[in-house]
Chains A and B, each alone.
Chain A
Amino acid sequence: MSDLALVLDHGPATARRRPLLLLLAAALLLGVSCAPPPPPDFDGARAAARRAIRMLRPTVPLKAKYIERLIADAEIATAAERHAPWWAPQTGRATAAWLRVARAASEETAAWRAKRDGARGVYLQLLDEAREHIARARAEIREAGMGGREAAAMARASTLVQTATRLASAGDFERASDKLKSAREMTQLVHKAYTTLHARFGESRLRRQWKQWVDETIADSRDSGGAAIIVDKLRRQLLLYQAGRKVATFQAELGANGLRQKAHAGDQATPEGRYHVTKLKEGSATRYYKALLINYPNDEDRMRYELGRRRGQIPTRASIGSLIEIHGDGGQGRDWTNGCVALTNEDMDRLFSRVRRGTPVTIVGTNP
């Protein structure tokens, strides 16, 4: 018998045990191959869903609640699967439930982001507009004739924009946009007042009259060979004519309500009409550097004043006013007088040397 045969020949006892060993090996193999798979890890889906809930809750709480309910269902499915008896088949219910959670979280988050981006876009656009409108309103509010009501509107607009910026920085773009819309309404109020104020400068009746006054003044200057002054309120210019020829242009400042036609004392409006210099003042005769007193009110001013009083447009205790001058101490870059025309002291010197009592002074809304 060879060595190999000796090795293989285990005798009758071994032969009896062999089927038992084979059975055990088969059972072991079956047991290993049929062992339940390790439970899947849902932590990723769980964490993503939690993040989605935190994101959605402040603005869309119902969506957050929906995902919360899906998580609760998924947790139950997971527990059911984990504790199922060994003979019960694994149906994959937990995996399906967590997939639902992950999908819902992803979709709702994407929708929320899209909505937020849209709201941010609207906000940024409105913010640009609001800043533009505020800049315009700031310029308009400096205009002569704009008053406290417009300043109040401007103040509100400014606060609303600041509040909107605060809300936007907290991520609340929708409410920020609402604030900006209100700010726009406020600046529109200022703009409306501004356009109303300027509407009269486009009226053809007034423009014809102003043109006539200017033409007559220049003609008088030409005929007499003397000086004449024309004040263009809208352009803030004082034009000096000599023998019908324009010899100088000065920047002028008006009354605080200078673009309006003067109606009575204290209205801070600058009158419009044909006047002449009645007095040249300097030194202690005037509180300003130098001054040229004009004959306001003239006959037309008196008629307008009486008419206004009869119609109840002028307060009963308001007088017609007087002491309208062209004076120095100007150059402040804004309309600030009580109705006078102000020049810089240098310009006042140049003007003062070329005029005398009786020099025509014509003040018009604008020189068409």
Chain B
Amino acid sequence: MRKNHVFAGVVLIAVAMLAVGCAKPPQPEIDAAKAALAAAEQAEAGKYAPEALDTASQAMNAVNAELQAQEAKFALFRSYTKTKQLLADAQKAADDAKQAAVEGKEKAKNEARAAIDAVKGVVDSTTQFMDNLGKCPRKPKDFRKDMEMLKGNLDGYATQVNDLEGAFSREDYLGAKAQADSLKGQVDQLMNDLTAAKDKIRCKF
């Protein structure tokens, strides 16, 4: 009778240990975290949210290290509780990186669009100003040559607006903004020259 009790106890303990010892790596969570990191990279986090991508990569490294640590243990002593926590952190970090990338890209896009619109605005207003100046009754001889040159300058600037749209459609937001800012500075300078010309010929409009 006593022998039977001992045998049952041993079997129970063995079953319990086997159950614990058969702990498996949380594969669905691992796959999800890897997919989230890949999605962050796909969203150009390297370009628009490099810091967040770094954090996510390091979190994933911590997960891999912990998985390795558990692998190194005797099968019966493995536990993936901490791995799951690290995976949750890595998943969150990757999602954050993706979100930051999307926001960063959107911000760059909006800034580029605003810069392009600002250039278009000043080109339009300068063209209008030049047209009005051309209608002024008093046009000294020396004014015509100046106007031809200024008109040429404006044409040169106006054609570059198309280049900006090209860069924008290629999603080169940083390049488009840099060029738009330069262009706006030039057109503003041209507007100053036209205003000076207007004052010189004492034109009113």
- Interface positions of A (Cβ within 8 A of B): 50, 53-54, 57-58, 61, 64, 68, 71-72, 75-80, 82-85, 141, 147-156, 158-159, 162-163, 166-167, 170, 175, 256, 268, 332, 334-338
Q: Once bound together, how far apart are the Cα atoms of A199 and B61, in whole Å? A: 70
- Interface positions of B (Cβ within 8 A of A): 46-47, 50, 54, 57-58, 60-62, 64-74, 141-142, 144-145, 148-157, 159-160, 174-175, 178-179, 181-183, 185-186
Q: Once bound together, how far apart are the Cα atoms of A167 and B58, in whole Å? A: 31
Complex: chain B residue closest to A142, CB-CB: B149
Number of A-B pairs whose CB atoms are under 8 Å? 125
Q: Across the interface, do B61 and A61 meet the contact criterion of CB distance under 8 Å?
A: no
Find chain A residues with CB under 8 A from B69 CB. Answer: 79-80, 82-83
CB distance from B161 to the nearest CB of A (A): 11
CB distance from A144 to the nearest CB of B (A): 9
Q: Across the interface, do B145 and A152 meet the contact criterion of CB distance under 8 Å?
A: no
Q: Once bound together, how far apart are the Cα atoms of A159 and B159, in whole Å? A: 12
Q: Given known contacts A54-B54, A72-B60, A72-B61, is B47 in contact with A150 (CB within 8 Å)? A: no
Partner of B179 from A85, A163, A334 at Cβ < 8 Å = A163
Complex: chain A residue closest to B190, CB-CB: A155
Q: Across the interface, do B65 and A152 meet the contact criterion of CB distance under 8 Å?
A: no
Q: Once bound together, how far apart are the Cα atoms of A153 and B57, in whole Å? A: 48
Q: Across the interface, do A162 and B141 meet the contact criterion of CB distance under 8 Å?
A: no
Q: Across the interface, do A166 and B152 meet the contact criterion of CB distance under 8 Å?
A: no
Q: Across the interface, do A159 and B149 meet the contact criterion of CB distance under 8 Å?
A: no
Find chain B residues with CB under 8 A from A78 CB. Answer: 65
Q: Given known contacts A58-B47, A159-B183, is B155 in contact with A268 (CB within 8 Å)? A: no
Find chain A residues with CB under 8 A from B71 CB. Answer: 80
Q: Across the interface, do B148 and A148 meet the contact criterion of CB distance under 8 Å?
A: yes
Q: Across the interface, do B46 and A256 meet the contact criterion of CB distance under 8 Å?
A: no
Q: Across the interface, do B181 and A155 meet the contact criterion of CB distance under 8 Å?
A: no
CB distance from B89 to the nearest CB of A (A): 15
Q: Once bound together, how far apart are the Cα atoms of A192 and B20, in whole Å? A: 84
Partner of A83 from B46, B72, B148, B151 at Cβ < 8 Å = B72
